[in-house]
Amino acid sequence: MSIKQFNGSYMPNEDRILFRFNTIQGDEYRFWLTRRVALFILAATEHLVEKKLEQKHDKPAAKAIAKFQQEAVKEQTKFSNDYAPANKYPLGADPVLVMDVKCTIVPLENVDVLSLDLVLPGGANLNLKLPLPTLQTMRLLLERLSAQANWGQLQMHSVSQQVGAPPLPEADADPQEATKSGEKSKKLH
C-alpha cells in the first residue's frame, strides 16, 4: 500500500482526531485517534528517529539533527492541497477507532522505514510501512491537530527498549509498543 495523501480534523464533540489517508491504489482508510494514541505516535516516532540517528551520532547531535529535519519538513510542507477522497473503503466508510499502536524502525529494501501497526477493535491490525519523509509529514499533521485540540505533549523521560513493556500512564512509554493499560476512560460524548 502506497500512501498518496494524509488528512485529519480535530472533532471537539468526540475529543478525537478523524485521521484518514488515501492510497495510490484508490483506497481510503478512516480512523479515530484518541489523545493517548495520537500523542503516543508523536512521542514514540520522535524517540525512534533519534535512536536511529544515535547509531551514527552522539545523543545531542542526533536530537539536533532530528529537530532540524522536522523543521525542514515544516518549511516545505504545504497544507493547501485539497484532499482527494477515494472511492474504495477496505475497512468501511465509517472511521474505525484505533485501540492501540505499535511502532518500530525496520529495514525495507535497504532503507529504514517506520513500521506502524494500528490495533483495531476485535484484534484486527493494519500495518503501515512509512519512509522517513512520509513519517515526518504525518507527524507534522498530528502535531498541528494535537495543538488545535490543546492536548499538550506526552513526555518520555526514561524510555525502555524492551519490546512489549506497557507504558506508564501519561508519562513514560515504550516506543516499541503501546498497550491498552495506559488508556484513559474519559470520553466527551
Chain segment 68-107, per-residue pLDDT in tens: 777 776 677 666 678 888 889 999 999 999 999 999 999 8
pTM equals 0.74
Domain residue ranges in the chain: 3-180
Buried b (16+ CB within 10 A) or exposed e, 55-79: eeeeeeebbebbeeebeebeeeeee
Smallest CA-to-CA distance from 25 within 49, 4, 45, 53 is with 4
Chain segment 58-67, per-residue pLDDT in tens: 888 877 877 7
Tell me which of 181 and 10 has the higher pLDDT: 10
